[in-house]
Amino acid sequence: MAVWMTAASVASALNVVVLLVLLSVWTRNYLAVGSKHALGLTVFGSLLLAENCLSVYYYVLDPEVAVLLRSAAPVAGRAMTFVAILELGGLLFLAWISLD
């Protein structure tokens, strides 16, 4: 289980990095343009960032949850890893079109 939890943590941490890049673009656009669309993207990015920060916290740092997850059956960690990797794929694609 510990291996999968490490993989899920790394994927979530990467999500945080990509989201920070996206948010830097969207926040700057919101400040420059002031449109509701840019605001929407900024809010969306912030909430997704919070979700991923929370994931990393639970997987790595939370004294109760992290310990519990590491001692759980590997299937759970594997499932969490897949979800985080799919999200990473989506975010990378979004970053690709947004950095154009």
Partner 1 sequence: MAPCCNKKTKLLTLPLSCLYPSCETVAELRPVDIRTPGELGPLMEGVLWYVLSGTRGGPNRARILKALKRRPRNANQLAEDLDLDYKTVRHHLDVLLDNGVVDNTGGDYGSVYTLTDRTEQYWDTIEEIIAEIE
Residues that bind partner 1 (CB under 8 A): 25-26, 28-30, 32-35, 37-38, 41, 97-100
CB 27 to partner 1: min, Å: 11
Angle at 10 between CA 56 and CA 39, to 5 degrees: 60
- By beta-carbon proximity to partner 1, the closer residue of 3 and 33 is 33
Report residue 96 as tokens.
């690709």
CB 94 to partner 1: min, Å: 9
Rounded alpha-carbon distances, angstroms, from residue 99 to 8, 25, 68, 95: 26, 8, 39, 6
- By beta-carbon proximity to partner 1, the closer residue of 21 and 85 is 21
CB 20 to partner 1: min, Å: 14
Phi, psi of 72 (to 5 degrees): -80, 175
